[in-house]
A and B are shown apart, each in its own frame.
Chain A
């Protein structure tokens, strides 16, 4: 207790297990993936020697490039829609709800069903004979079932926006809740209308929560193959579907590795650009 040197050693010792596990489970595998992406597969084993052929394949093929583009657009759309819809909801709970805890619980309950079943539920709702179509037909509002609801990017966006709603609401709520109310009172005292005050004080101060929510949603959605597979159809496949196929059957593991790494890099760069851009925009908006 008395010796500072011993204290520090204790501290590092406590940190070591977590670092070791993460090192083993994260660093080593990713390294391995990088290595694998530089090989090529013949039959069920890897051939000797290194090659950049896989990257050539990934970046060269038009179909892959368009798939990357589509994935980014879909994830981007999902992020935008989810955050935009969630913000007023979080705002309501933070500033106008009387029993905040009850609202928060009510908002998270839908997410205690299995993720797969939630996606499947949308399949049921949007399908040809699904809830919306059969309901509308019953009410004689349409004669033929609507075709555009399912098996396309639209369905993927709607499903993912629903699935990730809680991940948007909670971070935004937390950053709104933290705003010191005396700041808002000061803004009013200095002449701002409620709307101006929102734009000049509330919104900028809630930005960290918004940015956090955006990243939290954008990154995982790029790697989801379940939703595209269930509701995306052929028009709504995303990059993760292609990756999954490479690893499931005897696909092309090096190709899959290369696809994965390019995918992470792309997502990482975009996320980084987004955060930097959002911060700059917040600063200049003062």
Chain B
């Protein structure tokens, strides 16, 4: 009996999560500038206008650039730090980890503002590079968490076995360490990319004249006539994300052999 109630709760909760999200596609096809019921008929003109929206496309390009660079750099830093902390008995490793994870406990607005001050003091301009730095602060803790978990399950003997079998340091990394860590590396890249792509607060203060996609969207929200177009954009982003995850899951299952009976 308890199960039934819990099950019902689960579905209700799920509905609560989805309803606001469904607003996006519903009203992106609605033939009206006003976001209210009743619906006024089906149209794709909002999607069409996206194709002509060069400002949006420029912002999208910026977000992709920032996201990719952030993902690569954060994963690289996370990789080296995770290996350092799990493979070597370093003194003060705990304190170092705590320090690196500090951004999780500081509101993003403070991170953004303090970097703004730093750039001002150093005389450096606000730019996408500054956004990348800010995003790295936010993303490295996530990358670290994923990669430390992955390293802890990594048998230390594997690298010794590779050396024992004749491979030097570099070949051992290439033939053993990297392939075994690859799922963790990919997970870190995905997680940091998504975090950076959607990040608004830090980018808001640091981007200067070049807008990222969330900043572009923020700018559009004060113009009622732009709203359905923005919703169309949101619907597209949602679809692409879902598609990517399904694709990733499919690829992940390709490499796994089905268990044989009587091993």
Direct A/B contact, Cβ within 8 angstroms: yes
Question: Does residue B80 face the partner (Cβ distance < 8 Å to A)?
Answer: yes
Stretch from A52-60, A106-114, A147-155, A181-189 at the B interface: A106-114
Question: Does residue B77 face the partner (Cβ distance < 8 Å to A)?
Answer: yes
* List of B residues within 8 angstroms of A30 by Cβ: 110, 114
Stretch from A62-70, A129-137, A203-211, A277-285 at the B interface: A129-137
- From the candidates B201, B217, B242, name the one contacting A109 in the complex (CB within 8 A): B242
- From the candidates A21, A28, A107, A222, name the one contacting B17 in the complex (CB within 8 A): A107
Question: Does residue B100 face the partner (Cβ distance < 8 Å to A)?
Answer: yes
CB distance from A65 to the nearest CB of B (A): 19
Stretch from B21-29, B45-53, B174-182 at the A interface: B21-29
Question: Does residue A276 face the partner (Cβ distance < 8 Å to B)?
Answer: no
Q: Mark contacts of A97-126 with chain B using CB atoms, 8 A cut-off: 1 yes-contact digit, 0 otherwise.
A: 100000101110110111111101110110
CB distance from A107 to the nearest CB of B (A): 7
* List of B residues within 8 angstroms of A124 by Cβ: 23, 27, 35-36
- From the candidates A121, A220, A267, name the one contacting B24 in the complex (CB within 8 A): A121
Residues B118 and A113 in contact, CB atoms below 8 Å apart: no
Q: Mark contacts of A1-39 with chain B using CB atoms, 8 A cut-off: 1 yes-contact digit, 0 otherwise.
A: 100000110111111011101100111111011001000
**Given the contacts A30-B114, A85-B13, A219 and B106 also touching, CB distance less than 8 Å:** yes
- From the candidates B38, B109, B163, name the one contacting A138 in the complex (CB within 8 A): B38
Query: 8 Å CB contacts to B: which residues of A206-260?
Result: 215-216, 219-220, 222-226, 230, 240, 243-244, 247, 253, 256-257, 260
- From the candidates B14, B144, B217, name the one contacting A106 in the complex (CB within 8 A): B14
Residues A26 and B103 in contact, CB atoms below 8 Å apart: yes
A to B CB contacts below 8 Å, 29 in the list: A11-B84, A14-B83, A15-B84, A19-B99, A22-B137, A26-B103, A26-B114, A32-B114, A33-B110, A36-B117, A88-B6, A109-B21, A109-B241, A110-B21, A115-B214, A116-B214, A117-B24, A117-B231, A124-B36, A125-B23, A130-B35, A162-B20, A219-B105, A222-B107, A223-B106, A224-B201, A244-B109, A253-B117, A256-B113
Chain B residues in the interface with A (C-beta under 8 A)? 2-3, 6-7, 9-10, 13-14, 16-21, 23-24, 27, 34-38, 76-78, 80-81, 83-85, 87-90, 93, 96, 99-100, 102-111, 113-118, 121, 133-134, 136-137, 140, 144, 163, 169, 194, 198, 200-201, 205, 213-214, 217-218, 221, 227, 230-231, 234, 237-238, 241-242, 245, 249
5 smallest CB-CB distances across A and B, nearest first, come from A223-B107, A11-B88, A29-B114, A14-B84, A112-B241
Seed contacts A112-B194, A113-B24; 19 additional CB < 8 Å A-B pairs:
A13-B84, A14-B80, A14-B84, A15-B93, A21-B137, A26-B114, A26-B137, A32-B118, A107-B17, A109-B242, A114-B237, A120-B227, A124-B27, A162-B20, A219-B105, A219-B107, A223-B109, A240-B107, A271-B105
